[in-house]
Amino acid sequence: MNPSKICVIGGGGFVGLVTSLGLSEIGHEVISVDVDPNKIDQLNAGKSPIYEYGVDLVLNRNLHNGRLKFSTDLQSSVKSSRVVFVTVGTPSLESGQIDLSQVIEASNQLSICLDEYRIIVIKSTVPVGTTDLIKGILDKKSHQDCFDIVSNPEFLREGNALKDFFFPSRIVLGGDSNGALSIMKSIYEPIIDRSLFVDGIENPQSGSTPIPVIQTDIASAQIIKYASNAFLATRISFINEISGICEQVNADIKKVANGMGYDPRIGHSYLEAGLGFGGPCLEKDLNALINTAHQNGYDAAFLQAVLERNDKQVRSVVNKVERLLSADISNRTIGILGLTFKPGTSDIRNSLSIRVIRELHKRGAVVRAYDPVVKHETLELDSNINHCDSAYAAAKNADSLLILTGWEEFLHLDYQRIYSNMSNPIIIDSQNLLTPSDMIELGFTYTGIGANTLK
């Protein structure tokens, strides 16, 4: 592999940071740019703005070996690079459509510094048509034939991000320039040929076959990303639907999902009943795909149902709290364990835990919450949440305790102590984390998802 000079736009964000760390770790010279000067100062000082396994280690290693730099100066960073990765945010608008303002702004800035040929790699998840928009912006100011655009969607999972970057299931490259696509393959060469060993990260057993590279047109690459997330969301809504049926017929969703998953056509992953799909991506991407369908005259009723089933799950958990506290939860104290949208990350964007808390507030409950990594300051927007320093403090004098994120720490709590300190020893475990019989033996009224332990 020939080391390349790479600029990452949006490098202080989740995907941008992981991409910057990943590309520098495999040997490239990376300058990572963000509009947020606080993130850049923090990163230059070797401190990560995100909580993610291995990030601090890989960040400091590559800062010290000089392969990684952070800057707010987009122009000079682009000028000193051959390949530019765009990783800015593409959040949802109220309508469910994608807010492309960060992509448009980044393209405008990029257009004034394309004085010679560069490859523009779109890693942000963007709807079909966005690359034409970017091309239109770049064409206005830059010299002709000054760039090629490659779509290279990102599939990492928060909580597993670096590992997913270094050891991906596949690399998707969409574009129509064979030259640009072959440079992209050479950038990823140590990943593709599995020759990589990353110190401090769990390295999988080396496989003999290379990582699949799926080379397509741009629209297909973008739809691969959206369809993959829509499929994962569908599995979650599906298993939650089955869990609702299990509760009615005294079946146990854990046993059902386990039995289903052995079928090689089905598999076990994304087959865990719970609170539904939250976080910054699945719901946003599903909405965007539905919008793309509508804009093109196609009624995506099936995908709409997946979304609606997900909305139902939060309400059904709060309804359980009401049912267990004999309907009225106003002024009742509810302890919450877990605020992030999944364990292993500090991300609370579109966390269903926060949605449950808002629903509890709407119904008049007093909420006390604890999360192993979310600090009080992050919760400014939700100042109604009484933030606690420990799970025991959140449970103290509570009328019920809700487990909303599956952090391992919650498995090892002293539930005897929690039992003694609660006003009403009720546990609603939306992650099916604990063993029901253990909790019932301790004296709790316990319910999870998809098994009627209350009868």
Ligand X SMILES: NC(=O)c1ccc[n+]([C@@H]2O[C@H](COP(=O)([O-])OP(=O)(O)OC[C@H]3O[C@@H](n4cnc5c(N)ncnc54)[C@H](O)[C@@H]3O)[C@@H](O)[C@H]2O)c1
213-216/333-337 β-pairing: unpaired
Q: Residue 12 interacts with ligand X (CB under 6 A)? A: yes
Closer Cβ to ligand X, 102 or 243, answer by number: 102
Closer Cβ to ligand X, 153 or 436, answer by number: 153
Number of residues that bind ligand X (CB under 6 A): 28
Q: Return d(Cα 371, Cα 345) in angstroms, integer.
A: 11
CB atoms within 10 A of CB 293: 15
Q: Residue 120 interacts with ligand X (CB under 6 A)? A: no
* Contact between residue 398 and residue 425 where contact means Cβ atoms under 8 Å apart: no
Closer Cβ to ligand X, 8 or 303, answer by number: 8
Helix (H) or strand (E) holding 19: helix 14-25
Q: Residue 344 interacts with ligand X (CB under 6 A)? A: no
Stretch that binds ligand X, among 14-22, 232-240, 297-305, 402-410 (CB under 6 A): 14-22
Stretch that binds ligand X, among 151-159, 173-181, 299-307, 327-335 (CB under 6 A): 151-159
Among 60, 97, 109, 215, which residue interacts with ligand X (rule: CB under 6 A)? 109
Helix (H) or strand (E) holding 32: strand 29-33
Q: Residue 409 interacts with ligand X (CB under 6 A)? A: no
Stretch that binds ligand X, among 4-12, 186-194, 329-337, 411-419 (CB under 6 A): 4-12
Rounded to a whole number of angstroms, the minimum distance from the CB of residue 106 to ligand X is 4
Rounded to a whole number of angstroms, the minimum distance from the CB of residue 94 to ligand X is 17
3-state secondary structure 166-218: HCCCCEEEECCCHHHHHHHHHHCHHHHCCCCCCCCCCCCCCCCCCCCEEEECH
Rounded to a whole number of angstroms, the minimum distance from the CB of residue 404 to ligand X is 19
Among 148, 154, 371, 429, which residue interacts with ligand X (rule: CB under 6 A)? 154
403: nearest Cα among 369, 376, 378, 377: 369
Looking at the annotation, which residues are catalytic? 281
x/- mask, ligand X, residues 74-103, rule CB under 6 A, reads: x------------xxxx-----------x-
Q: Return d(Cα 369, Cα 377) in angstroms, integer.
A: 13
Rounded to 10 deg, the angle between the 101-111 and 130-141 helix axes is 30
Among 25, 29, 148, 158, which residue interacts with ligand X (rule: CB under 6 A)? 158
Among 4, 24, 32, 124, which residue interacts with ligand X (rule: CB under 6 A)? 124
Rounded to a whole number of angstroms, the minimum distance from the CB of residue 208 to ligand X is 28
Q: Residue 16 interacts with ligand X (CB under 6 A)? A: yes
Rounded to a whole number of angstroms, the minimum distance from the CB of residue 431 to ligand X is 19
Q: How open is the CA angle 274-276-279, to the nearest 5 degrees?
A: 120
Among 10, 159, 175, 448, which residue interacts with ligand X (rule: CB under 6 A)? 10
User: DSSP label at 378?
Assistant: G
Give the residue closest to ligand X by C-beta. Answer: 13
**Backbone conformation region of residue 450, classed left if phi is above 0, alpha if psi is from -120 to 50, else beta:** left
Rg (CA), the chain: 24
Stretch that binds ligand X, among 12-20, 143-151, 214-222, 444-452 (CB under 6 A): 12-20
Rounded to a whole number of angstroms, the minimum distance from the CB of residue 300 to ligand X is 19
Closer Cβ to ligand X, 87 or 291, answer by number: 87
Q: Return d(Cα 285, Cα 233) in angstroms, integer.
A: 10
* Contact between residue 156 and residue 171 where contact means Cβ atoms under 8 Å apart: no
Rounded to a whole number of angstroms, the minimum distance from the CB of residue 368 to ligand X is 28
User: DSSP label at 357?
Assistant: H
Closer Cβ to ligand X, 128 or 422, answer by number: 128
Q: Which of residues 281-300 bind ligand X (CB under 6 A)?
A: 281
Closer Cβ to ligand X, 39 or 396, answer by number: 39
Q: Return d(Cα 279, Cα 130) in angstroms, integer.
A: 23
Among 4, 7, 8, 14, which residue interacts with ligand X (rule: CB under 6 A)? 14
Rounded to a whole number of angstroms, the minimum distance from the CB of residue 102 to ligand X is 4
Stretch that binds ligand X, among 9-17, 143-151, 298-306, 445-453 (CB under 6 A): 9-17
Rounded to a whole number of angstroms, the minimum distance from the CB of residue 153 to ligand X is 7
Rounded to 10 deg, the angle between the 130-141 and 218-249 helix axes is 150
* Contact between residue 245 and residue 315 where contact means Cβ atoms under 8 Å apart: no
Q: Which of residues 31-70 bind ligand X (CB under 6 A)?
A: 33-36, 39
Beta strands in 257-389 (DSSP E): 333-337, 366-370, 386-387
Helix (H) or strand (E) holding 121: strand 118-122
Sign of CA dihedral 414, 416, 422, 426: positive
Q: Return d(Cα 196, Cα 206) in angstroms, integer.
A: 9
* Contact between residue 46 and residue 19 where contact means Cβ atoms under 8 Å apart: no
Residues making contact with ligand X (CB under 6 A)? 9-10, 12-16, 33-36, 39, 74, 87-90, 102, 105-106, 109, 124-125, 154, 156, 158, 280-281
